[in-house]
Amino acid sequence: MSWRAAVKLAYDGRDFYGSQRQPGVPTVEDEVIRALQKVEAMEDPVAGRFQAASRTDRGVSALGNVMAFDTGFRQRSLLRALNSASERVHFYAWAEVPSSFSPRRASGRWYRYFLPCEGLDPDRVVGGAQLFEGRHDFRRFCKADGRSTLRTLDRVSVMSIGDFLVIDLEAREFLRNMVRRIVAALEEVGSGKMGEEDVSDALTGKDVQFGLAPPDNLWLMDVRYPFEFRAEAPPNLRARVGERARDAMVRLAFYDSLGSRFP
């Protein structure tokens, strides 16, 4: 019996050339489709009405992107099977959704950027962040791709964690490169190279350019809907995450030790 599945997944963006399918390079969608076909949960992405919630650029990671597809696979075995078929995409929650469901019609999206705080005034960054909240024309902060550039940002917050200013941005939807351009503007304001008035001018349509923040420090934290996902931790996923966390701790210790040898 066929049903429509929505699956939450995570991935390290450094492993892929972005999320959207592209010929000749590894992408997140290609990896997910390959896993679905390997376990025989979906034959064809067109027939299976395969869709992704959010596009992420090359280098951008995700903790909570969502992909949906039609399948006849056993519900309680789906995540275990997919995690056995993919080493680089981690599947950890699922929901049965109506046949008409499109993951693109989300109720909210949450992004997080880790901005190195060296040389930045946190108070200036906070002041700049507050200017972006609410409804604005973001034409100077995106690639419009023919879409309306009017968007509402529900939250832009800044907190300090270690050597980083962590910037959280929440909205129902974002335009292409919107988060990275906003972060670039906050970095310029925080460094004193530009002021809050420059941000205000750009939000009123004046031609002010701030650049584009690098992708590697950007995470898609979650895509939200008015229903709950069933979170599961299959043993193969739990073991993989633990192994990679231990490896990351060893690498961190290596670079900390190396740094301690410098005069």
Q: What is the DSSP string of 149-202?
A: -EEEEEEEEEEEETTEEEEEEEES---BTHHHHHHHHHHHHHHTSS-HHHHHHH
CB 65 within 8 A of CB 9: yes
Catalytic residue among 30, 57, 198, 222: 57
- Cα–chain-centroid distance for residue 132? 19
Q: How far apart are CA 99 and CA 70, in angstroms?
A: 8
Q: How far apart are CA 138 and CA 148, in angstroms?
A: 9
Per the annotation, the verdict on 12 as an active-site residue is no
108 strand-pairing partners:
224
Q: Which pair of tokens denotes residue 160?
A: 């300090």
Q: Measure Cα distances from 256 to 142, 251, 261 in Å.
A: 37, 9, 9
* Residue 175 amino acid letter: L
* Residue 107 amino acid letter: S
C-alpha gyration radius of the chain: 20
* Residue 243 amino acid letter: E
Q: How far apart are CA 121 and CA 192, in angstroms?
A: 8
Question: Which sequence positions are flagged as catalytic?
Answer: 57
